[in-house]
């Protein structure tokens, strides 16, 4: 083999390897934001579940079909009371929503009600979906809370119950936490929708929310804390 041919072969291999590494890094970077968001959502939920006396009642968690966590939502600089947030939703699997918790579905939120609650602070929001109808609606559509699905401020505390008519009939119960203060909050007028682009980035392929719940994609390692804490809260509730 001539020296010139050897150089050409070496150069071609070097270029091919460089492009392969570039594509690999690009793929890793594509889902890094979403993986971090999943991890942050799990940390937020853990902190809330670790304070049961001032957190979400076990009766609410026992009856939940899906849990949505929107960490560190910030008010938009443009507009009055506007906001835009991203987070995750996990649902119980099975046709009756009574199975194990699913891999996360990336979600996006916006609306004046969320913006009104924010003030000037970054705020965490948790939304508990209480029936099958609310869960099915969220899987495929952009949902306006209060119009397409009923929502009410959730009760707070270990022994609190969803006792009022509004809470008993609501498809979703919503909470907020800002500067360490946690409480029920009405998010009527805000919107929620599955974030298709973020789901594609996280799982590396186009995937529908129903496919995620059906277990057709692997559970991201970053979701382990989120799922584990929900399973623990469910087990603890079953022991009481």
**Which of 54-68, 81-95, 141-155 has the lowest average pLDDT?**
81-95
- The two tokens of residue 52 are 């049961």
Strand partners, 143: 192
CB 147 within 8 A of CB 124: no
Highest mean pLDDT (candidates 18-27, 50-59, 128-137): 128-137
- What single DSSP character describes residue 219? P
The pTM assigned to this predicted structure is 0.81
Scanning 75-122, the segments in alpha helix (DSSP H) are: 112-118
Query: Which of 65, 73, 103 is CA-nearest to residue 222?
Result: 103
Lowest-confidence region among 52-66, 96-110, 225-239: 225-239
- pLDDT at res. 193: 94
- Residue 181's pLDDT is 85
**From residue 171, how far is each of 33, 115, 194, 218 by CA, in Å?**
30, 21, 17, 29
User: Which position has the token pair 């919503």?
Assistant: 174
């Amino acid at each position: 083999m001539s020296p010139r041919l050897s150089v050409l072969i070496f150069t071609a291999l070097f270029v091919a390897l460089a492009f392969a590494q570039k594509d690999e890094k690009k793929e890793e970077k594509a889902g890094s934001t979403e993986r971090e968001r999943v991890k942050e959502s799990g940390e937020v939920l853990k902190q809330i579940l670790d304070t049961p006396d001032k957190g979400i009642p076990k009766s609410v968690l026992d009856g939940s079909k899906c849990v949505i966590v929107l960490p560190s939502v910030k008010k938009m600089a443009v507009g009055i009371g506007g906001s835009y947030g991203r987070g995750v939703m996990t649902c119980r699997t099975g046709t009756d929503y009574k199975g194990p918790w699913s891999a996360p579905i990336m979600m996006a939120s916006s609306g004046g009600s969320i913006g009104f609650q924010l003030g000037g602070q970054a705020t965490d929001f948790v939304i508990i979906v209480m029936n099958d109808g609310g869960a099915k609606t969220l899987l495929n559509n952009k949902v306006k809370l209060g119009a397409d699905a009923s929502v009410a401020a959730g009760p707070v505390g270990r022994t609190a119950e969803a006792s009022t008519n509004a809470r008993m009939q609501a498809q979703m119960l919503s909470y907020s936490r800002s500067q360490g203060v946690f409480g029920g909050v009405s998010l009527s007028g805000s919107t929620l929708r599955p974030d298709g682009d973020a789901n594609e980035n996280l799982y590396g392929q186009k995937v529908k929310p129903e496919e995620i719940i059906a277990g057709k994609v692997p559970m991201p390692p970053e979701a382990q804390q989120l799922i584990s804490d929900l399973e623990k809260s469910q087990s603890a509730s079953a022991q009481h």
